Amino acid sequence: MPLLKVFTFNPLQVNAYLIYEPNGAGIIIDPSCFDQTEFRDLQDFIGINHIRLEYQLNTHGHFDHVFGVHMVREAYHPKYLIHQADEGFLRLAGEQARNFGFDYEGDAPAPDGYLNEPDVVSTNTIHLKVIHVPGHSQGCVAFYEESAGWLFSGDTLFAGGIGRTDLPGSNYEQIISSIQKKLLILPDDTKVFPGHGAASTIKHEKLTNPFL
């Protein structure tokens, strides 16, 4: 069974998830480290655990989730994947960041390929099923690791909340439909790891999330 390390990066407190096999392969979701100090924390962990980083994946293309993509690519050369519907955000990452007051130069690099449902991104023991969940953006995806019971929900489903739907390309009815039809059907004990904030479970969100 794979292991999981959670990092929280950048001023917007994005959760970056490193799923890995000790002395083996690794996949990072939303590599959002903002500067070299944050990136060194990731590097130190990868080095200590002798992880071979094979993939970096984005749940969506908003700037705060892609800050570290270029640093990870230059250091480790993993395959970079995102949903094609959000590829356009990568070319605007620098502009978007500056509009929100962040000193961020450049845009995220072009992806090496695209995430599509029902693809599975796999290493030896890690198997991440791609679930397309448009609403927060049109290219939002979640990743489900069935053997571990982990759902990486990005900015679609939070503990007690849902992603913003007042942004370009977002849609409230769509995000609710995505959550209800594609995420809440997972086993109740599935642990939900969101793009920001604390973890939860599918059962807890069914019972307590005021949006659902």
Q: Give residue limits of the domains in the chain.
A: 3-208
Residue-level pLDDT at 104: 78
Token pair of 13 as six digits: 């407190």
Residue-level pLDDT at 106: 66
Residues 37-94 have pLDDT tens digits of 999 999 999 999 999 999 999 999 999 999 999 999 999 999 999 999 999 999 888 8
Average pLDDT, the chain: 96
> pTM for the whole thing?
0.97
**pLDDT average, residue stretch 110-136:** 97
Say which CATH architecture domain 3-208 belongs to: 4-Layer Sandwich (3.60)
Residue-level pLDDT at 103: 80
Residues 162-179 have pLDDT tens digits of 999 999 999 999 999 999
